């Protein structure tokens, strides 16, 4: 017997839980949140590598309708964000709607019943009128295609699948990748390992991290006098929002930050050859701009080596670089990121006429407002294509999408629509405009390769190139005129 719900949400991270809160507020209680992991938190539940923290300021890295007054630091560590997500479950009484350890293997649109049929890994099925994918844009780890990696005799750990019991004390460790995750865990690994070889393909722009504790008096002020917290949030929001023009129109605007980053590097690293190897040769912002106070100094340590030559192969005991040198290692840590341009695996979501979303998006994901997809009636996504940000807190985008979905539900109820589907034309127009705006951006034309761009088509399928204010305006109302509603 399959269970029926009005809404099924897949994923219990910020997006899924945020939608659950707003559904309850709207008086909609017939929904379930299905989560593959044993706990809520999404990205903050799974990414447990040492040093994991947020690179967006805490007071902007929370949902406006589920705030937290007592963040302990300007940039919160993973554990605190995770605890906050768990507190959200308690504060909004979401537990009755949650089903953990429930991995969805297929969600299929049934044309006859106008329902989604959702099957989990234990063969249980559930039906719903509406399906929401809150799966996260950076949830599928990317494993590098390196010859011989599968022959390695030691452990290989991806940063997103960090075992709680991993002890790297006195081990010889090779790190592949130097992105946002690696700059956080590399300094921590250096503290315990016997040797650390960091394999860098492309250096990143790294700014100092203006992190500091938020003291008890300030926390108290935020708790007893919420306008103080609102003002702080507004200030952070404006600070980050004004970074956008440097990425989309006038790269010259980042000159000051470029100088700051280079000074930071020169101040923190002793060896001129190392400074040269760590200096990026592409426009700032083309890849995500990183922040760290302890990454660069790690390379001054005698047991840490930066290798900026390409990896040619992995043997059972070593990583071999382009010069032919073999670097013996006991453990390989992959900081190689995520399959951001293929967020949905094939066979997971199947819409009208057996359309497979994963296959449809093989050439690059496309949606309408990052939320609806033609061919997939009564289906919405949170953090779908082109909703990630290079300049501000992604939670602002999630909030816009949540509002839009709740509006859609209310309209469906009011007009007794059984089925809504975005039209092909609206979706095409939306993407054409995005492509046009993105083509001049630093992300597309800044002279680098990044996870923002689809590896085959070269399209930027991940980033939103306008202000978050604009996205908020565009998602304020459900624009049913561009949907086929029956």
336 binds ligand NAP (CB under 6 A): yes
Nearer residue to ligand NAP within complex by CB, 178 or 378:
178
312 binds ligand NAP (CB under 6 A): no
Nearer residue to ligand NAP within complex by CB, 10 or 395:
395
Among 51, 133, 177, 385, binds ligand NAP (CB under 6 A): 177
Q: How far apart are CA 75 and CA 67, in angstroms?
A: 15
74 binds ligand NAP (CB under 6 A): no
**Where in 388-417 is the site for ligand NAP (CB under 6 A)?**
none
201 binds ligand NAP (CB under 6 A): yes
179 binds ligand NAP (CB under 6 A): yes
* Least distance in angstroms from the C-beta of 235 to ligand NAP: 20
**Cβ atoms of 130 and 5 closer than 8 Å:** no
Q: Tell me the number of residues near ligand NAP by CB under 6 A.
A: 25
311 binds ligand NAP (CB under 6 A): yes
CA distances from 287 to 66, 199, 363 (A): 30, 18, 21
Contact range with ligand NAP by CB under 6 A, out of 94-102, 179-187, 263-271, 465-473? 179-187
DSSP state string for 116-158: EEEEETTS-EEEEEEEEE---TT-SBPPP--TTGGG-SSEEEE
* Least distance in angstroms from the C-beta of 290 to ligand NAP: 8
**Cβ atoms of 396 and 14 closer than 8 Å:** no
Among 8, 23, 54, 206, binds ligand NAP (CB under 6 A): 54
Among 89, 146, 319, 405, binds ligand NAP (CB under 6 A): 146
Q: How many CB atoms neighbour CB 286 within 10 A?
A: 26
Nearer residue to ligand NAP within complex by CB, 77 or 119:
77
Place of tokens 């709207």: 26
Q: Determine the 3-state secondary structure of 372 from DSSP.
A: strand
80 binds ligand NAP (CB under 6 A): no
Q: How far apart are CA 83 and CA 39, in angstroms?
A: 11
CA distances from 456 to 212, 275, 286, 337, 459 (A): 42, 33, 18, 18, 8
Query: Site map for ligand NAP, 284-303, x if CB under 6 A?
Result: ----x---------------
451 binds ligand NAP (CB under 6 A): yes
**Where in 456-485 is the site for ligand NAP (CB under 6 A)?**
none
Which residue has the closest beta carbon to ligand NAP? 179
Radius of gyration in angstroms for the set of CA atoms belonging to the chain, rounded to a whole number: 23
CA distances from 109 to 4, 99, 259, 439 (A): 14, 21, 53, 35
Best CA proximity match to 311, nearest among 152, 108, 418: 152
Q: How many CB atoms neighbour CB 239 within 10 A?
A: 12
Query: Site map for ligand NAP, 157-176, x if CB under 6 A?
Result: --x----------------x
Which residues contact ligand NAP by CB under 6 A? Answer: 53-55, 138, 144, 146, 159, 176-182, 199, 201-202, 288, 311, 335-338, 449, 451
């Amino acid at each position: 017997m399959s269970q029926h719900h009005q809404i099924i949400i897949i994923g219990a991270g910020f997006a899924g839980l945020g939608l659950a809160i707003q559904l309850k507020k709207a008086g909609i209680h017939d929904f379930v949140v299905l989560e593959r992991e044993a706990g809520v938190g999404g990205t903050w539940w799974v990414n447990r590598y040492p040093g994991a923290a947020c690179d967006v300021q805490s007071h902007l890295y929370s949902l406006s309708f589920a705030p937290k007054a007592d963040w302990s630091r300007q940039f919160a560590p993973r554990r605190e964000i995770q605890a906050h997500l768990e507190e959200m479950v308690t504060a909004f009484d979401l537990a009755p709607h949650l089903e953990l350890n429930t991995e969805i293997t297929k969600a299929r649109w049934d044309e006859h019943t106008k329902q989604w049929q959702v099957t989990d890994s234990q063969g249980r099925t559930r039906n719903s009128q509406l399906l929401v994918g809150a799966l996260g844009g950076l949830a599928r780890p990317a494993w590098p295609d390196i010859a011989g990696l599968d022959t390695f005799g030691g452990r290989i750990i991806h940063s997103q699948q960090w075992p709680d019991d991993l002890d790297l004390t006195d081990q010889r460790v090779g790190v592949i990748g130097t992105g946002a995750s690696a700059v956080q865990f590399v300094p921590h690994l250096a503290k315990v390992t016997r040797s650390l070889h960091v394999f860098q393909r492309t250096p990143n722009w790294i700014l100092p991290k203006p992190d500091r504790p938020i003291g008890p008096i300030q926390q108290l002020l935020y708790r007893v006098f919420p306008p103080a917290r609102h003002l702080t949030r507004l200030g952070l929001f404006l600070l980050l929002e004004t970074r956008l023009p440097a990425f989309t129109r006038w790269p010259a605007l980042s000159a000051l930050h470029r100088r700051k980053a280079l000074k930071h590097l020169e101040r923190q690293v002793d060896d001129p050859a190392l400074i040269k190897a760590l200096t990026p040769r592409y426009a700032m912002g083309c890849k995500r701009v990183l922040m760290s106070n302890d990454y660069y100094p790690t390379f001054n340590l005698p047991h840490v080596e930066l290798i900026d030559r390409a990896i040619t192969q992995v043997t059972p005991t070593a990583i071999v670089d382009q010069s032919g040198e073999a670097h013996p290692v006991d453990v390989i840590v992959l900081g190689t990121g995520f399959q951001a341009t293929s967020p949905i695996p094939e066979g997971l979501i199947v819409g009208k006429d057996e359309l497979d979303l994963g296959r449809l998006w093989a050439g690059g994901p496309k949606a309408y407002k990052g939320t609806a997809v033609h061919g997939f009636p009564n289906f919405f996504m949170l953090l779908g294509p082109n909703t990630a940000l290079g300049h501000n807190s992604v939670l602002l985008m999630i909030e816009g999408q949540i509002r839009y979905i709740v509006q859609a539900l209310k309209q469906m109820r009011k007009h007794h629509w059984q089925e809504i589907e975005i039209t092909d034309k609206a979706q095409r127009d939306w993407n054409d405009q995005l492509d046009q705006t993105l083509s001049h951006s630093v992300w597309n034309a800044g002279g680098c390769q990044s996870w923002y761009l689809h590896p085959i088509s070269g399209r930027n399928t991940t980033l939103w190139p306008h202000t978050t204010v604009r996205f908020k305006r565009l998602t304020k109302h459900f624009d049913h005129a561009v949907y086929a509603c029956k």
